[in-house]
Amino acid sequence: MVAPPSRTRDADERSGGSRPIVGVQGLGFVGAAMAIAIARARRPDGTPRFDVVGIELPTPDGQAKVDALNAGRLPMAVSDVQLAEALAEAHSVGNLTATADDSVLAGASVAVVDVPVDLISDRGVPAAEFSMLQAAARTLGRRMRPGSLVVVESTVPPGTTERVVAPELSRALTRRGLPGDAVLLAHSFERVMPGEQYLSSLVSYWRCYAGTTPAAADACERFLSQVIDVDTYPLTRLQSTTASETAKVLENSYRATTIALMQEWGHLAETVGVDLFEVVEAIRRRPTHSNMRVPGFGVGGYCLTKDPLFGEVASRQLFGNADLAFPVSRQAVAVNRDMPIGSLDKLEEMLGGSLAARSILLMGVSYRPGVADTRHSASATFVRAALRRGAHVRCHDPLVARWPELDMEVETELPRPVGVDAVVFAVANGGYAALDVAAWLGDERPAILDANAVLSAAQRADLRTRGFRVTSVGRGEGL
């Protein structure tokens, strides 16, 4: 089913055709929020700068996202009130619509590409799956008018914009009888943080960008400057789109590597009776170490689980160099992938050495607080392993009613913990930090594992006073 093109024409009529049209390809967790952020941009007189059209594939999932945005609803559950309010305003004004008909791109001055590049395994070697991005580029080449701007926002292996997107775009333009460089091409990665600061992370944060030509970079700068608070958060222009792509991948690789480092120190803290969170807070007082990470339940989501491998992928797949090794990046991904198993092992020890027929209540299944994104979540690794060890697992998350990756229902209301052998706090969702855990558990006495610093010191102390056994990842017993 295709959304009627009249939705976009109506927006043009309301604006008198005076507002440039921006198309956003892909309405996932980044694209949908970015479309709202662009629709939120205002001229000095308070009127919208753009009419925004989100474009999705004509699939059931794509159409569901289109229908949600056209009804003024977020296509994903989030905790950011500002994002919901911005969508409501855009829906009221009429400058944000969505469709599965890519012909609307013919009227766009700018297209923002938020199409994923997945990591796959090619005979055990990491590789990038470019087919969706290539198809998106061909669509843009068929539809975009000469002089328009394409901004690749997707996180991609370095070299992708110049070596994958540009050739596809050029060939499609040439088939129309246009010069292969008739459309300006740039890259600017997002630093979106889904959760309570979802919208702010898009419009009130620093951005890097680059163009395949100086003219493309200039056009990208003009566009971003109308959407982002560049007075407070100035833009950084890099020398090439490959440099911009490298910045995003290296940034995430650094973050993933430092998270992995903290796991071995967390194990030491548990062994010698130290609270590593207290230690890290003391170290963070040194300005050079203010962003030091802490141990936790695991790393999930679409970025940190794959991006550290994109350097190796780029070297081999795009630049033909299979000799460069990335052992630290590979090891970081492996350590982070297996992190939830450490929590499961700890829980098994708490329950006497076996999980067979034990009932576990897992609190939090999304990959981070404040968003219903379960892609590559650490909770999935935990649940699969627990089931293999014979445990029964129930899950609670206020934002996730259905867990597609595990094909299971999730309780969104605080569940009754009757007959539960263990409660694992994995993600700080649902007001867990304010929960009177002892009152909620009542007469039940399950083992409690705080796997991700979800509970406060006061909560942990209260539970121990009431006779509960509470163990924490990254803290010695009794801390």
DSSP per residue over 379-432, as a string?
HHHHHHHHHHTT-EEEEE-TT-SEETTTTEE-B-SPPP-TT-SEEEE-S--TTG
Residue 361's pLDDT is what? 98
What interhelical angle do 327-350 and 378-388 show, nearest 10? 50
Residue 17's pLDDT is what? 56
β 408-409/402-403 pair status: antiparallel
Domain 255-472 belongs in CATH node 3.40.50.720: yes
Q: What tokens appear for 209 in the block?
A: 């960008």
Residue 14's pLDDT is what? 36
Please state the pTM of the whole predicted model: 0.92
Q: What tokens appear for 37 in the block?
A: 């952020």
Q: What residue type is 349 in one-letter code? A: E
Question: Cα–Cα distance between 397 and 389 in angstroms, integer?
Answer: 23
Characterize 196-222 residue by residue with b for buried, 16 or more Cβ atoms within 10 angstroms of its Cβ, and e for exposed: bbbbbbbbebebbbbbbeeebbebbbe
Order the strands of the 447-450 sheet from edge to edge: 392-396, 359-363, 422-425, 447-450, 470-472
CA proximity to 113, closest of 68, 77, 149: 149
Residue 429's pLDDT is what? 85
Residue 52's pLDDT is what? 98
Kindly give the confidence (pLDDT) of every residue in the chain, 479 residues in length, as a single tens digit, with 9 standing for 90 and above.
333 333 333 333 333 458 999 999 999 999 999 999 999 999 999 999 999 999 999 999 999 999 999 999 999 999 999 999 999 999 999 999 999 999 999 999 999 999 999 999 988 899 999 999 999 999 999 999 999 999 999 999 999 999 999 999 999 999 999 999 999 999 999 999 988 999 999 999 999 999 999 999 999 999 999 999 999 999 999 999 999 999 999 999 999 999 999 999 999 999 999 999 999 999 999 999 999 999 999 999 989 999 999 999 999 999 999 999 999 999 999 999 999 999 999 999 999 999 999 999 999 999 999 999 999 999 999 999 999 999 999 999 999 999 999 999 999 999 999 999 999 999 998 789 999 999 999 999 999 999 999 999 999 999 999 999 999 999 999 99
Residue 280's pLDDT is what? 98
Class of domain 6-239: alpha beta
Query: Which helix (H) or strand (E) segment is 236 a member of?
Result: strand 235-237
Question: Cα–Cα distance between 296 and 198 in angstroms, integer?
Answer: 22
**Are 119 and 309 a contacting pair, CB within 8 Å?**
yes
Question: Cα–Cα distance between 164 and 122 in angstroms, integer?
Answer: 18
Q: What tokens appear for 345 in the block?
A: 């092992």
Q: What tokens appear for 46 in the block?
A: 């308070």
Sequence ranges of the domains in the chain: 6-239, 255-472
Widest Cα–Cα separation across the chain: 77
Question: Cα–Cα distance between 390 and 357 in angstroms, integer?
Answer: 6
